[in-house]
Structure 1
Amino acid sequence: MVLDHGFYVDPHPVYRAIKQNGNKPTEIILKTGMAYLPPGLRAWLVTSCDDVEFVLQDPRFRKSIDKAMPLFSANTSGEGGGTPHASLLYDNMANNDPPKHTRLRRPLNANFTSRAVSTRRRDIWQVSTRTLDALAGADSFDLVQDYAFPFSISVICGTLGVPQADQRSFHSWVQTITGAAEPEVLKRDAGLMVGYLRDLVRHKRRGSEDDVLSHLATSLEEPEAVAQAYALLAAGYETTANLIVTGFLTLEAHPEQKKLLWSDPSLIPAAVEEMLRHQAPFNLSLYRYVTETVTVNGTEIPAGAIVFLSFAAANRDDRRFDAPDEFNIRKPRRDHMAFGGGIHNCIGKHLARLETEVAFETLLRRCPDLSILSPAGLLQWKASPTFRGLKKLVVGPGPAAAVTGLA
């Protein structure tokens, strides 16, 4: 099975086809790569809840980036792209196994508990308000570039201790590194990102600030602190911004649900949970590789294979959820897998939930007549195997455009 641009626009037809074939692990070819994932990569895709949970818990499925990099080259189909090379930026907790993963994650745990995050609600609300203030008087605006991204970037940069003035450059670099950029552009922007973060980590080490990056700078060696900072910054705003936008898009596609939410803001936390389940902000998980041949749901996955998990497909598994394709904010399914699971569960899940809740609280209060103005059928989705989100979504007061192509 080839995963091409159509998969990035709407992955659920692919998932339904796999479900009809027994929901077993399926061989795939990634038509479009991203940074360290070359185009034409052959891999296995796991989609059912039971199988995803099995892989998350089985120690034969590993994450070590040093051992995985040669496998990317060995598993390409020759459709294009060069051999990817390991980068300092990717050597973070998301791409490592214990004990290194445990050591890298330990300095962050206390900063991202539910209690620690809840103390930032007022600060996050002020960021959302300032972001909308900057759009005052506009007849319309881009929900992606004018609201969701600036808001999410400001929140994560404030959480970590990144100067506000550097956010525009940071956003540009991350879009290059997490996209399907040309090798020369990727090399340039990755170098700029590494240089910037190295200088910032050194500055934090010399200072006395009480923020996340300062804790990393004093707890880890410089290369490790740089890689951790990149992982937190990139994942900490991209997924949340995408969730805000796809969440609004989903509400527009289900007008009775939007009307219900707009009439009862107390439903916002439940709505966010249902958005996470129904339109997970990830297409595919980060890679895993298998150290020996393993049988999953009757399917043999050979040693050395690259494996991806689809939390989005697992969230629509009818063996786990009743009416899984239905979007219903009065019946949110909270045992979803939008944040992964196992030791690699998303460390920023509480912050992502709070940000998205505040984003919708502010939109509902300040822009109660907001609707999508982008013409139906012209929505452009990012060509990313990992992050699922729109490039642009024009919104404003007035009658909504018909929303099509959203499963």
Structure 2
Amino acid sequence: MTDTDFAIQPAFFTDPFPTLRALQQEGPARPVRLPDGVEWWFVTRHEDVRSGLADPRLSSAANDHMANDESLPTTDAITSANDATRRSLVNLDPPDHTRLRKLVVRAFSATRVDGLRPRVQQIADELLDAMAAGDDEADLIGTYASALPIRVICELLGVPEDHDALREKTGAAFQVVQDDTSAADMAQAFAWLTAYTRRLIALKHDTPGDDLLSDLIAVHEEDDDRLDDEELAAMALTLLLAGHETTVQLIGNGMNALFDHPEQLATLRDRPELLRTAVDELLRHDGPTNPGVARYATEDVTLGGVRIPRGALVLLSVAAANRDPARFTDPDRLDLTRDAGGHLGFGHGIHYCLGARLARMEGEIAIGSLLRRFPGIRRAVPAEEVRWRLGMVRGLVSLPVILR
């Protein structure tokens, strides 16, 4: 892999790891062209990705820079995504990021998240009851992996249970743009989500409750260091998207990996005390942040001895870093007894995931409860027939399973 115009093909999203390993072996960083034609510098080694995640010269406002940089292509999809999220926490740099994170961090305190555990367990049990009453074969994504996190985040935010519509639109928002159709779908999804979020804010403004969205509106209206209108809308949208989409993939990808490693599935079923650390190993092995995190170089940056020029779009490949043999022994092997500490599935530095504790808890409850209820669960199709989404968040379209 020595050509200077290496392009990612759609098949990459089905199994990205051979390509990421080849890029990693070739060097610390190199330009790569994505299916939409935009060139990104892929950074693939753990030490460099970790360093890049904490480097202030690599701006988190990649979409904003793309919209303002005339040398970069602009599409309706890019514009719609940027308009919806430019003021969200994940797309801001200090000092705005520092201010906003301080305003919302209390919503994800250990006390508040741990207090949700009984309700998350209750939701999991209700979904498993419904599965047990149905056929022996089911789609684990549609009936469980997506249903649980979206119910949790809707209850946390205090929003109506528009689950099917939300699932459809968030999936379209995270897809890879390949052609005019997918670009139009993404633009339409962000327009729908933006309008939906603003309706929710108006509803909660009139009838506040004991929920996170009402808390954000109170900060917006009362706090001296308040959220402005655009920040409030972007924050609500980000929590709605990130608050469930990545957890869906944690559960779905995690169970699929366990089916690929039946000895590890048996170990987890027999040793449920491993669940807490198993979630981190599942995130390391095949987590949703794949291929990685977008950044924009505001000045020349050297990573691993390679100079990335000012103005470059940078993809810090968390997925490659989490399988770097320089950091993890035998990294392609799933090992639930491994100490996966240091994985970058939740990021690093000032953008470390606010919802990490909640995601770990949901993953632990979802997978543990599933294995207790259906100890003989197995995949209903061969591994090669499992369908993966074409998206910048790695996840399955469906996962057919036999429950008993």
For residues 25 and 165 of structure 2, the distance between their equivalents in structure 1, rounded to whole angstroms, comes to 45
Taking a change above 3 Å as real, the CA distance of residues 396 and 73 of structure 1, as seen in their structure-2 partners, is farther
Taking a change above 3 Å as real, the CA distance of residues 378 and 2 of structure 1, as seen in their structure-2 partners, is same
How far 1:70 sits from its partner (Å)?
Answer: 3.1
Q: Which residue of 2 aligns with 1:137?
A: 134
Q: Which residue of 2 aligns with 1:92?
A: 88
Q: Which residue of 2 aligns with 1:404?
A: none
Asked if residue 42 in structure 1 is aligned to residue 39 in structure 2, the reply is: yes
Taking a change above 3 Å as real, the CA distance of residues 376 and 251 of structure 1, as seen in their structure-2 partners, is closer
Judge conservation of contact 1:108–1:212 (CA < 8 Å) in 2: no
Within 5 Å, which residues of 2 pair with 1:8-407?
8-22=13-27, 24-31=28-35, 39-64=36-61, 67-70=64-67, 74-76=71-73, 84-85=78-79, 86-135=82-131, 136-164=133-161, 166-179=162-175, 180=177, 182-219=182-219, 220-384=227-391, 386-397=392-403
Taking a change above 3 Å as real, the CA distance of residues 141 and 16 of structure 1, as seen in their structure-2 partners, is same
Asked if residue 5 in structure 1 is aligned to residue 5 in structure 2, the reply is: no
How far 1:149 sits from its partner (Å)?
Answer: 0.5
TM-score, normalisation: structure 2: 0.90
For residues 228 and 134 of structure 2, the distance between their equivalents in structure 1, rounded to whole angstroms, comes to 48
Taking a change above 3 Å as real, the CA distance of residues 66 and 358 of structure 1, as seen in their structure-2 partners, is closer
Q: Which runs of 5 or more residues in structure 1 are unaligned?
A: 32-38, 399-407
Judge conservation of contact 1:65–1:91 (CA < 8 Å) in 2: no
For residues 274 and 339 of structure 1, the distance between their equivalents in structure 2, rounded to whole angstroms, comes to 12
TM-score, normalisation: structure 1: 0.89
One-letter amino acid matched to 2:120: I
How far 1:340 sits from its partner (Å)?
Answer: 0.6
For residues 82 and 360 of structure 1, the distance between their equivalents in structure 2, rounded to whole angstroms, comes to 39
How far 1:109 sits from its partner (Å)?
Answer: 0.5
Judge conservation of contact 2:43–2:315 (CA < 8 Å) in 1: yes
For residues 105 and 182 of structure 1, the distance between their equivalents in structure 2, rounded to whole angstroms, comes to 32
Judge conservation of contact 1:140–1:397 (CA < 8 Å) in 2: yes
Measured against aligned partners, the alpha-carbon deviations of 1:238-276 in whole angstroms (never above 9, x if no partner) come to: 111111111111111111111111112111112111101
Judge conservation of contact 1:242–1:281 (CA < 8 Å) in 2: yes
How far 1:326 sits from its partner (Å)?
Answer: 2.0
One-letter amino acid matched to 1:149: S
Taking a change above 3 Å as real, the CA distance of residues 108 and 342 of structure 1, as seen in their structure-2 partners, is same
Measured against aligned partners, the alpha-carbon deviations of 1:3-49 in whole angstroms (never above 9, x if no partner) come to: 22222111111122123224x11110011xxxxxxx11101011111
For residues 119 and 392 of structure 1, the distance between their equivalents in structure 2, rounded to whole angstroms, comes to 31
Judge conservation of contact 1:201–1:222 (CA < 8 Å) in 2: no
SS at match of 1:87: helix
Q: After the TM superposition, which segments of 4 or more aligned residues of structure 1 sit over 4 Å from their partners?
A: 80-83
RMSD over aligned Cα, in angstroms?
2.0
Judge conservation of contact 1:144–1:391 (CA < 8 Å) in 2: yes
Judge conservation of contact 1:89–1:194 (CA < 8 Å) in 2: no
Judge conservation of contact 2:137–2:402 (CA < 8 Å) in 1: yes
Measured against aligned partners, the alpha-carbon deviations of 1:62-100 in whole angstroms (never above 9, x if no partner) come to: 123574123676245xxx966831312443111111111
My pick for the range that moved more, 326-335 or 388-397, is 326-335
My pick for the range that moved more, 192-201 or 254-263, is 192-201
How far 1:397 sits from its partner (Å)?
Answer: 3.5
* Equivalenced residues, count: 385
How far 1:378 sits from its partner (Å)?
Answer: 1.4
For residues 283 and 237 of structure 2, the distance between their equivalents in structure 1, rounded to whole angstroms, comes to 24
Q: Which runs of 5 or more residues in structure 2 are unaligned?
A: 1-5, 220-226
For residues 273 and 84 of structure 1, the distance between their equivalents in structure 2, rounded to whole angstroms, comes to 32
One-letter amino acid matched to 1:363: L
